[in-house]
Structure 1
Amino acid sequence: MASEAHGEEGGLVFHPMDQFIVKPLFGDGPVHWYTITNVTLWMGIAVLGIFLLMVVGTRGRAIVPSRIQSVAELAYGFVYKMVEDVTGKDAVRFFPYIFTLFMFIVFANFLGLIPMSFTTTSHFAVTAVLALAVFITVTVLGFVLNGTKFLGLFWVSSAPLALRPILAIIELISYFVRPVSHCIRLAGNVMAGHAVIKVFAGFAAIAVISPVSVLAITAMYGLEVLVAFIQAYVFTILTCVYLKDALHPSH
């Protein structure tokens, strides 16, 4: 840590973004689309963690659940109620997809808080794929279920006739901006928190301000624990809102 904090001339040199560099898991060569990287590793660990919790942890289906089964049932019930309350009972058929999104994001976020780990949701490449998957699914579903009536989502019939074309353009732009804001919100919040923690960790190498830095790290870490869950919740609830537009475009 001290070597990171001090430069060659004794000045402070922080590299808070180094923790987000994608590196090959084996060797030091260039990264290609097929290269197994640290991102691949931690995404795989997240998937493995979900499998252990939801499949292995609940295989007994005990009437009096164990702690692991209780956590799995709590997560299941939490997301199920979210889908039902926000999107409606007719959207429950899409619950497995939404639940998978929530569990992957929340596991990836919490795994990123482990020292020396890699936060996969801090990369726009990961969150953009998740957001585009939601956007494409919702759009295709909207046209399949409603046909051209889905376009009514952009036509504000309650507004004065002269304003409707202008509002339609605004609604259309807003609709296509959805995946951008969807992915940036998640990656930006996760990346910013981890970068701040790394900056405070660099200052911890200075004896004079080390106690203050440690307190700041502790406070930021506690905040990041909340952010890890909240950002997974926000991503999921926005998915439910977008899905509701596809199922009920006239509402």
Structure 2
Amino acid sequence: MATEAHSEEGGLVFHPMDQFIVEPFFGDGPVAWYTVTNATFWMFLAVIAVFALLVLGSSKRSVIPTRMQSVAELAYGFIYKMVEDICGKEGVKYFPYIMTLFMFIVCCNFLGLIPTAFTPTSHFAVTVVLALAVFLTVTILGFVKNGAAFLSLFWVASAPLALRPILAVIEIISYFVRPVSHSIRLAGNVMAGHAVIKVFAGFAALTAVSPIAILGITAMYGLEVLVSFIQAYVFTILTCVYLKDALHPHH
């Protein structure tokens, strides 16, 4: 998130959105499907971080846990309880998938806070894939587990009969909008926070307002640490809610 600010014709020029440009990680040139980009590199680091924390960090299974093992156990218990509370005992079998989603997103978010790093979850190309994977998984699972009874999710039996067809259309539209809202919420919040930090960093080049800009950067950075976790949590808890609908469409 380093910034380049300079004066041109008496004005301050900086580009807060440049940090989101996907470009080759090694050298220059066009980006092809096989090109190692800054996005793929930092996603790879996120996977390594998840592996290091959950596999290597807890491999010894010490009675007196190390810090890494404590964090791994805390994350495991936190997500397991979330899945069990929302989806019930039947949803626990899908815990590995939900745990993987949470850890990947939270690691991408936190790694993106490192200066000069790239945040993959600020791109809709990444969050849309994650959201579509959840949407397709719960939809297919809903039909596999319940058959045609899964369609009862869209039929509001408690409403007056005359309103049920209208509500059914609204429910269907709402259902297919899920991956859109699911992905935009994550990418939009991450992108906005990083852009604001870079704007403050640009103003830090001006001597007159640099103390205020530095305070703004510090405050925004602290907020982004919180947002990084909250957005991963929100994405995960919505996944659990959608999974519950697939497992129990009548509820």
Which category describes the TM-score, using the shorter chain as reference length?
A: over 0.9
Q: Gaps (5+ residues) in structure 2?
A: none
Q: CA deviation at 1:3?
A: 8.6
TM-score (norm 1): 0.98
Q: Distance in 2 between matches of 1:233 and 1:165?
A: 34
Q: Distance in 1 between matches of 2:96 and 2:17?
A: 35
Q: Distance in 1 between matches of 2:160 and 2:50?
A: 50
Q: Distance in 2 between matches of 1:2 and 1:178?
A: 34
Q: CA deviation at 1:218?
A: 0.3
Superposition map of 1:42-191 within 5 A? 42-191=42-191
Q: CA deviation at 1:14?
A: 2.1
Residue 233 (1) aligns with residue 233 (2): yes
Does the 8 Å CA contact 1:39/1:120 hold for their aligned counterparts?
Answer: yes
Q: Distance in 2 between matches of 1:53 and 1:243?
A: 26
Task: Give the AA of the match of 1:250.
Answer: H
What CA RMSD, in Å, does the superposition of the two structures yield over aligned residues?
1.3
Q: How big is each residue's C-alpha offset from its partner over 1:25-52, in whole Å with a ceiling of 9 and x where there is no partner?
A: 1221111222110011000000000111
Matched residue SS, 1:12: strand
Q: Distance in 2 between matches of 1:126 and 1:70?
A: 29
Q: CA deviation at 1:248?
A: 0.2
Does the 8 Å CA contact 1:2/1:202 hold for their aligned counterparts?
Answer: no
Does the 8 Å CA contact 1:102/1:236 hold for their aligned counterparts?
Answer: yes
Matched residue SS, 2:219: helix
Corresponding residue number in structure 2 for 1:218: 218
Range that drifts further, 98-107 or 24-33: 24-33
Q: Gaps (5+ residues) in structure 1?
A: none
Does the 8 Å CA contact 2:111/2:117 hold for their aligned counterparts?
Answer: yes
Aligned length: 251
Task: Give the AA of the match of 1:81.
Answer: K
Q: How big is each residue's C-alpha offset from its partner over 1:226-246, in whole Å with a ceiling of 9 and x where there is no partner?
A: 000000000000000000000
Matched residue SS, 2:138: helix
Matched residue SS, 2:4: helix
Distance 1:3 1:90, change over 3 A: closer
Task: Give the AA of the match of 1:42.
Answer: W
Q: Distance in 1 between matches of 2:4 and 2:48?
A: 33
Q: CA deviation at 1:17?
A: 0.3
Superposition map of 1:31-50 within 5 A? 31-50=31-50
- Aligned sequence identity (%): 77
Q: CA deviation at 1:6?
A: 2.6
Does the 8 Å CA contact 2:3/2:14 hold for their aligned counterparts?
Answer: no
Q: Distance in 2 between matches of 1:57 and 1:89?
A: 27
Distance 1:223 1:3, change over 3 A: closer
Range that drifts further, 163-172 or 25-34: 25-34
Corresponding residue number in structure 2 for 1:20: 20
Q: Distance in 1 between matches of 2:114 and 2:124?
A: 20
Distance 1:170 1:16, change over 3 A: same
Q: Distance in 1 between matches of 2:151 and 2:226?
A: 38
Range that drifts further, 106-115 or 57-66: 57-66
TM-score (norm 2): 0.98
Distance 1:215 1:135, change over 3 A: same
Q: CA deviation at 1:12?
A: 1.3
Q: Distance in 1 between matches of 2:6 and 2:75?
A: 44
Q: How big is each residue's C-alpha offset from its partner over 1:207-231, in whole Å with a ceiling of 9 and x where there is no partner?
A: 0000000000000000000000000
Distance 1:117 1:146, change over 3 A: same
Q: How big is each residue's C-alpha offset from its partner over 1:59-85, in whole Å with a ceiling of 9 and x where there is no partner?
A: 101111111100000000000000011
